[in-house]
Structure 1
Amino acid sequence: MKGSVVKFLLKSAWVLEMLIALFILLVTVVQMVLTANDSLHYLSLGEFSLNEFFASTLNIVVGLEFIKMLVLHTPRAVTDVLLFAIARQLVVTHSTSMDTLLGVAAVALIFVIKKFLLSKEDCTPPPDILGRFLGGHSAQKEETHHE
């Protein structure tokens, strides 16, 4: 009884995560279309801003990385989201020298983590990713993956 309730809750949480990822993907695609439309419009008017274009496109990239993090559940996906979010902040905002230095140090730290602390297993998604979505997986795999 307790095992089936836990299994149901884990499946429900996973389905909700996938729905959220799908919604984020939909919004990201809409943002891509709007960014392209706005960029072409402002280019034709001669009022194009590269800084605003970078802000929009890097937001799209962060959104895509976030979707991958929700789907894959790997430490590598988490560090990738952090890396792109910090890089976006560094490129788009014009902060103080100290903020820039801290951002560069954070990026360097993420690279150190990826190089020395993440194993090959941390970088590959579980083999049953599609199986979980389609319902063809064992309870043991699910419990191991969600611990």
Structure 2
Amino acid sequence: MKNLDKNNLSLRIAYIFESILAMVVLIAVFLGTIDVLRMIWKAYIVEFQTPVQYSQLNDLLGQILLLVIGVELVVMLSLHLPGALIEVLLYAIARKMLLLPKSEGMADVLIGVIAIAGIFAIRKYLVSNDNSNINVTSIHYEECEEGQSCEECEACREKKLQAEKSKH
């Protein structure tokens, strides 16, 4: 919401609703994590005498990748960056490729590989380098000018000076 009218009520409501939806997804991912831990406990601890079947491991990995997609979706909803959308697409395609049945032909695998290669090409040639690989730990990217590191950024220096003044 940096270049948009911040006084627009509908934009603020939409932003708040989007944040609420992101929190709902995060809660669902947390609950899904408990379910994955229960699956691991049952397969590897309780029934340790029987070897884990391929289908059990495939289901477990599919569930874990679904949770990763959920976390990436929350990041995408929070940061509003093209790079975050690309990460969600990469994980979704990887999950789909992992869950392909053994009976399917190699055509589906080839299509998945082509799709991943296409996403990497999009990331390299179409997404700008200034904020395509921003992660959650560097959310202050809006204040730094393009091409500057955080140490060179005037806004970051001012924040550090204000923090030091407030300590004294």
Provide the TM-score with structure 2 as the length reference: 0.68
Is 2:86 the counterpart of 1:79? yes
**Structure 1: 5+ residue stretches without partners:** 129-147
The number of residues matched between the two structures is 126
Shift of 1:102: 0.7
2:13 aligned residue: 12
Shift of 1:5: 10
1:39-118 equivalent positions in 2, closer than 5 A = 39-43=40-44, 44-45=46-47, 46=50, 48=52, 49-94=56-101, 95-118=104-127
Farther off after superposition, 18-27 or 41-50: 41-50
Farther off after superposition, 24-33 or 113-122: 113-122
Distance (whole Å) between structure 1 residues aligned to residue 121 and residue 87 of structure 2? 13
1:121 aligned residue: 130
Equivalent residue letter for 1:39: I
Shift of 1:27: 0.5
**1:62-92 alpha-carbon deviations (Å, 9 max, x no partner):** 1011111111111101111001000010012
Which protein is bigger by CA-based radius of gyration?
2
Displaced runs of 4 or more, over 2 A? 3-6, 124-128
- For the residue of structure 1 that corresponds to 2:142, the secondary structure is coil
Higher relative contact order structure (alpha carbons within 8 Å, sequence separation ≥ 6):
1
Distance (whole Å) between structure 2 residues aligned to residue 69 and residue 121 of structure 1? 16
Distance (whole Å) between structure 2 residues aligned to residue 81 and residue 96 of structure 1? 25
Provide the TM-score with structure 1 as the length reference: 0.77
The share of aligned pairs that are identical, in percent, is 29
Shift of 1:15: 0.4
1:24 aligned residue: 25
Shift of 1:39: 1.4
1:35 aligned residue: 36
- For the residue of structure 2 that corresponds to 1:121, the secondary structure is coil
| Bigger share in helix | 1
Shift of 1:55: 0.7
**Structure 2: 5+ residue stretches without partners:** 144-168
- For the residue of structure 1 that corresponds to 2:8, the secondary structure is helix
